[in-house]
A and B are shown apart, each in its own frame.
Chain A
Amino acid sequence: MTENEFWHLAHPNSTVRNAEWMPGEIELEKVVCPIEKGHQRGGKRLTNLSIALRGGAVEDFVWTWLSECLLQERVLELFRTNGFTGFDVKPVKAKFKHASDHDPPRLSELIVTGWAGMASAESGIKLTKECPACGLLRYSRCENPGKLIDVSQWDGSDFFMVWPLPKFIFVTERVAKAIRDNQLTGAVLERPADLSFGMAPGFGPGRLSYRMPEQRARELGGALGID
Chain B
Amino acid sequence: MSRFHAFLRDGRILPVEVIRHQPYCDKVYNLHVDEFECYAVGRNSVLVHNTNGPSEIINCHHQLPRQFEALFKAAGLEIEDFTIDMEQGAHRLLPDGLHTGPMNWNWQWQQFFDAYPDAGPEEILDFLSSLRDAFGLE
Contacts from A to B (Cβ < 8 Å): 11, 13-16, 18, 20-21, 23, 26, 28-31, 38-43, 65-67, 97-98, 136, 165-168, 196-206, 210
**Interface size range on B against A:** 35 or more
Docked Cα-Cα span, A196 to B108, in Å, equals 12
Of the residues B70, B110, B115, contact of A202 by C-beta under 8 Å: B115
Summarize A's interface: helix, strand, loop or mixed. Answer: loop
Given contacts A15-B107, A20-B67, A168-B114, whether A38 and B74 have CB atoms under 8 Å apart is: no
Q: Is B50 among interface residues, defined by CB-CB distance under 8 A?
A: no
Contacts from B to A (Cβ < 8 Å): 34-36, 65, 67-71, 74-76, 102-104, 106-108, 110-123, 126-127, 130-131, 134
Instruction: List A contacts of B106 (CB < 8 A).
Output: 15, 65
Instruction: List A contacts of B131 (CB < 8 A).
Output: 199
A60 to chain B minimum Cβ distance, whole angstroms, is 20
Instruction: List A contacts of B119 (CB < 8 A).
Output: 41, 204
Contact indicator B117/A40 (Cβ below 8 Å): no
Q: Which residue of A lies closest to B102 (CB)?
A: A13
Instruction: List A contacts of B34 (CB < 8 A).
Output: 97-98
Instruction: List A contacts of B104 (CB < 8 A).
Output: 15
Q: Which residue of A lies closest to B114 (CB)?
A: A167
Of the residues A39, A197, A210, contact of B117 by C-beta under 8 Å: A210
Docked Cα-Cα span, A82 to B119, in Å, equals 37
Instruction: List A contacts of B112 (CB < 8 A).
Output: 198-200
What are 26 A-B interface contacts by the 8 Å CB criterion?
A: A11-B110, A13-B107, A14-B102, A15-B106, A28-B70, A28-B71, A30-B74, A39-B120, A40-B75, A40-B120, A41-B121, A42-B117, A65-B67, A65-B110, A66-B113, A166-B117, A167-B113, A167-B114, A197-B115, A198-B108, A199-B111, A199-B134, A201-B127, A202-B116, A204-B115, A210-B118
A141 to chain B minimum Cβ distance, whole angstroms, is 9
Contact indicator A66/B71 (Cβ below 8 Å): yes
Of the residues B65, B76, B115, B120, contact of A203 by C-beta under 8 Å: B115
B17 to chain A minimum Cβ distance, whole angstroms, is 30
Contact indicator A16/B115 (Cβ below 8 Å): no
The 7 nearest A-B residue pairs measured at CB: A198-B111, A42-B74, A200-B115, A206-B118, A65-B67, A204-B116, A41-B118
Docked Cα-Cα span, A196 to B114, in Å, equals 11
Contact indicator A204/B117 (Cβ below 8 Å): yes
Given contacts A204-B123, A206-B117, whether A65 and B35 have CB atoms under 8 Å apart is: no
Instruction: List B contacts of A97 (CB < 8 A).
Output: 34
Docked Cα-Cα span, A18 to B104, in Å, equals 14
Given contacts A15-B107, A67-B113, A202-B115, whether A41 and B67 have CB atoms under 8 Å apart is: no
